[in-house]
Chain A
Amino acid sequence: MQHAAGLEELGREIRDASRFLDLAEEQISSRIIGQKEVVHRVFIALLAGGHILLEGVPGLAKTLIVRTFAAAMNLQFQRIQFTPDMLPADLVGTMVYNPKDMEFYARQGPLFANVILADEINRSPAKVQSALLEAMQEKQVTIGSSTFPLPEPFMVLATQNPIEHEGTYLLPEAQIDRFMMKVIVGYPSYDEELGIMQLAAASGTIPEVRPVVDAGDIAAARRLVDRIYVDPRVQRYIVDLVVATRNPAAHGLASLASMIEYGASPRASIFLLLAAKAHAFLQHRAYITPEDVKAIAYETLRHRIIPGYEAEADNIRTDDFIREILQHIEVP
C-alpha cells in the first residue's frame, strides 16, 4: 500500500522526536507513582500549547506532578499560591522606583516562567484570575507602559479543589473556556497507594529527577505536531461531537436537549483538534484517528458544557453527557 507522500517520513521524525517523552515519563514515574493519565495530559498540553485546569482533592500530588514535570522537561517552574488578598501586580510584576538612577523600572512577577502552577486559582478574586488568563491567552504581559513576552514554552497548570467552596471565587465560564483541558485527578489505586507509602517511608526525601530535554527539543516537537495529518473525516467527526453538545436533539440525542444549558464553544473544536494531534504524537503517529479524538474528548469538553437545572437535579455530570455523545455519534 502506498502511503501519503511525506507522512511516512513525518512518522519517522515523530518517532525520533517523541522519544524524549518516553524518557520524561520514566523520570516522572520514578517520583510519581500512578497518575499516568494526568502526566499524559500534561504532555499533550505542552505539545499543543495549551493550559490545564487540574481538579482534585488535596493530597493527590498535583503540585509534585507539575514540579517533577518541569524538572524533567528542564523548564523553569514557578508555583503561585492564589489567595483572596492577591493583586494582579503580584502575578505580572510592577514598576519599581530606583533611587540610584532616579527612574522606574519594571520588576517582572512570578508569571515569567515556563511552567506556572497556579495553586488554588479559585481562591483569588476575578481581577487576579483575569490577569492570569489574559497572560495565558496573549502569551505576554504589560507592566506600566512596557509589554513583555512570556517565555516559550509557557504553560499554566491551575489547580482547584472540588469539595471546598468556602471563600472561593468561582471561575467564570468564559475564563474556564481558555483552558485547553480540565483534568480530574483521582485517587490512586490500592497498589499505587501502597507504592507511594513505601517510597515516601523508605527514602524520606523525593527522588532526584534528571532533565531529559531542552526548550529547543520541545519547540521542534511542537512544529512536528503542527504537521500531523488530519483527514477531513476526522475534522467532521470533531465538529459533529462539539455541535452535538449544543444541539443534541438534532443528532438524535433528544434526551440530552433539556439537560444541557449551553454546549461547547468553537474553541472546543480548535482545542479538540490540537489535543488530538498531540495525542497522536504521543502515540508516535503522523496522522490522527478518531481514537485520538475520543481519548481526549472528556478532558477537552467537560468544562465547556454547562448542565441545565434538570441535569443538576438528577445529579447527572457533564462526563455523562460526553459519554452519551461519544457512544451515539458514528465514527468515520
Chain B
Amino acid sequence: MRAATLLLALLLAALPFPLLAGQTGTASTVLGVSVEPDSLYAGERVICTVRVRHPEGTLVSLELPDSTALEPFYPVGQKHSSSMLSRGLAEERFELELAVFGSGSQRLPAFALLFRDTRGRMLERQEYRPAVSVFVRTLTPSGMLELRPLKPPVDPDFPFPLLTALLLAVFGMAGVVLLALFIIKRKVRLFAETVDPAQEARRKLGKLHNRLSSGLPPAECYAELSAVMREYLERHYHIRALEAVTQEIERDLRKLGVSSFDAIMNLLRQADLVKFADSRPSAEETRNSTRQAEEIVSSGRSGSH
C-alpha cells in the first residue's frame, strides 16, 4: 500500500513537467506583428510591435538575426513589457524601433522567440517570419545607409512658376486693354480735332440765332454766346479760355497777335456786362453781337494768327 502510494506520488510529481512542456509548446502564441507607419522615406524609422501570449512562469525573449540578415532594416532601439492577462496566462509586448533603408516594399525581417523557464533553461525556440511589409519611398540613392533625423515630410513648394505665368498673363491682358483704350482715346481725340472748331462754333451760333428769333431772352443769349466764343477760342487758339477770366483771355490773345483781337474783346466785354453788371441788351443788339461772333469765327477760320 505504502509502495503504491509512493509510486502514485512519483507519477504525479513527474506528470506536470511533460504536461507543462507540452502545454508550453502549444499554448505560446504570437498574437500579431504590426508596424507603424507602413509607408516612409528611406532612413526614417518604423515601430514594429510583436505581441506574444504564453503560460505564466515562462520567460520570453526576442532574438533578431545578425545585421546582414536584417538588411535593409537596422535596429535602433527595443522596448519590452509584459502583462498578466488571467491566472496562468501572460502577454509579452516587444516594440522594435527599426531604421529602414532601400526602396519599395520591404518585408519585415524574421526573428526568433526564445522561451525559458524560471531557472533560465531553454524550453523552446520559435522562428517567425511576419508577413508584414513597409513601403519605403526614397529621396536619396537606395544605397544610402546613413541615418537621417526624423522630420515631417516637406510641404510641396509654392507653385511660383505657375504664379509668375498667371501674373504675366494678367499684366499682359491689362497692357492690351490699356493699349486698346489709349488707341480708342487717341482716335476719338483725333476725330474731335478734325472737327473744325470754327465750323462747330458757326453751327452753335446759327442755332443760337434761331433760338433768339424764337424768343430766347437776350441776357441768356449773351451768356451762351460768351460760352460758345470761349470754347472756340480755346480750341482754335489753344489757350485756356473756359476757366479764364476776360482779362486772362485778353492777355493770351494779345501775346498771340490775333488779328480780330479788338472785336473778340469787345464781344467778351459786352457779354461780361450782361452777365455780371445786369445790363439788358435789346434783341437787335444781341442779334448784332451774334452776327459779329460769326464774322470773328469766319475770319479766324482763314487762319489769321
Query: Cβ of B270 and Cβ of A289 under 8 Å apart?
Result: no
A288 lies within 8 A of chain B by Cβ: yes
Query: Is A331 part of the binding interface, using a Cβ–Cβ cutoff of 8 Å?
Result: yes
Q: Does B240 reach chain A (CB closer than 8 Å)? A: yes
Of the residues B242, B276, B279, B282, contact of A289 by C-beta under 8 Å: B276
Knowing A233-B275, A289-B272, say if A4 contacts B243 (CB, 8 Å). no
Q: Which A251-301 residues have a C-beta within 8 angstroms of B?
A: 286-291, 294
Bound form: Cα–Cα A112–B164 in Å: 77
Q: Which of A7, A329, A330 contacts B278 (CB 8 A)?
A: A7
Check A290/B279 contact, CB under 8 A, given A1-B273, A1-B285.
Answer: no
Report whether B277 and A7 are in contact in the complex, using a CB–CB cutoff of 8 Å. Answer: yes
How distant is the Cα of A291 from the Cα of B244 in the complex, in angstroms?
Answer: 9
Q: Of residues 199 to 241 in B, which have CB atoms within 8 Å of A's CB atoms?
A: 223, 240
Please give 16 more A-B residue pairs, beta carbons under 8 A apart, in addition to A1-B274, A4-B278, A231-B277. Answer: A1-B273, A1-B281, A4-B277, A4-B279, A7-B278, A233-B276, A289-B246, A289-B272, A291-B245, A291-B247, A294-B248, A330-B242, A330-B243, A331-B244, A332-B275, A332-B276
* Docked complex Cα distance between A330 and B278 (Å): 20
Q: Check A3–B243 contact: CB distance below 8 A.
A: no
A-B contact pairs, 25 of them (CB 8 A): A1-B280, A1-B281, A1-B282, A2-B279, A4-B277, A4-B278, A4-B279, A4-B280, A7-B279, A229-B276, A231-B276, A231-B278, A233-B275, A234-B276, A288-B276, A289-B245, A289-B246, A291-B246, A291-B247, A294-B245, A326-B243, A328-B243, A329-B243, A331-B242, A332-B276
Q: Are B277 and A287 in contact (CB under 8 A)?
A: yes
Measured between beta carbons, the chain B residues less than 8 angstroms from A328 are: 243
- Given the interface pairs A1-B270, A1-B285, A2-B281, the reply to whether A327 lies near B276 with Cβ below 8 Å is no
Least CB distance, A23 to chain B, in whole angstroms: 25
Over the window 258-293 of chain B, the binary record of Cβ atoms lying under 8 Å from chain A Cβ atoms (1 yes, 0 no) is 000000000000101111111111100100000000
Residue of B274, B275, B276 with highest tally of chain A CB at under 10 A: B276
Closest 10 CB pairs of A and B: A4-B278, A291-B245, A287-B277, A290-B245, A231-B276, A1-B281, A3-B279, A289-B276, A2-B280, A291-B247
Expressed in whole angstroms, the minimum distance between the Cβ of A135 and any Cβ of chain B is: 36
Q: Could you tell me which A residues sit within 8 Å of B by CB distance?
A: 1-4, 7, 229, 231, 233-234, 286-291, 294, 326-332
User: CB-CB < 8 A to B242: which residues of A?
Assistant: 330-331
Do the beta carbons of B280 and A327 come within 8 Å of each other? Answer: no
Q: How far is the CB of B77 from chain A (nearest CB, A)?
A: 65
User: Which chain A residues lie closer than 8 Å to B244 at the CB level?
Assistant: 331
Question: Which residues from chain B contact A291 at a C-beta distance below 8 Å?
Answer: 245-248
Bound together, the chains give a CA A332 to CA B242 distance in angstroms of: 8
Determine the residue in chain B with the shortest Cβ distance to A1.
B281
Measured in the bound complex, the distance between the Cα atoms of B246 and A331 in whole Å is 10
A residues within 8 A CB of B279? 1-4, 7
Residues of A near B278 (CB, < 8 A) are 3-4, 7, 229, 231, 287
How far is A332 from B274 in the complex, measured between Cα atoms in Å? Answer: 12
Q: A-contacting residues of B (Cβ < 8 Å)?
A: 223, 240, 242-248, 270, 272-282, 285
CB pair B282 A2 closer than 8 Å:
yes
Chain B residues positioned under 8 Å from A4 (CB to CB): 277-280
Q: Are B243 and A331 in contact (CB under 8 A)?
A: yes
Q: B273 touching A3 by the CB < 8 A rule?
A: yes
Q: Are A331 and B245 in contact (CB under 8 A)?
A: yes
Complex contacts, A331 vs chain B, CB 8 Å: 242-245
**Bound CA span A307–B220, Å:** 40
Cα distance, A291 to B275, chains bound together (Å): 13
In the complex, A264 Cα to B33 Cα: how many Å?
A: 87
Determine the distance from Cα of A2 to Cα of B278 in the docked complex, in whole angstroms: 9
Taken together as a complex, chains A and B put the C-alpha atoms of A149 and B25 apart, in Å, by 128
In the complex, residue of chain A having the shortest beta-carbon distance to the beta carbon of B270: A1
- Min CB distance A25 to B, Å, is 20
* Chain B neighbourhood of A332, CB < 8 A: 223, 275-276
Which residues of the partner chain B approach A327 to less than 8 Å between Cβ atoms? 240, 243
User: How far apart sit A233 and B278, CA to CA, in the bound complex (Å)?
Assistant: 11
Q: Closest residue to A234 on the B side, CB-wise? A: B276
- On chain A, the residues within 8 Å of B280 by CB distance are 1-4
A254 to B272, CA, bound (A): 31
Question: What residues on B are CB-neighbors of A229 within 8 Å?
Answer: 276-278
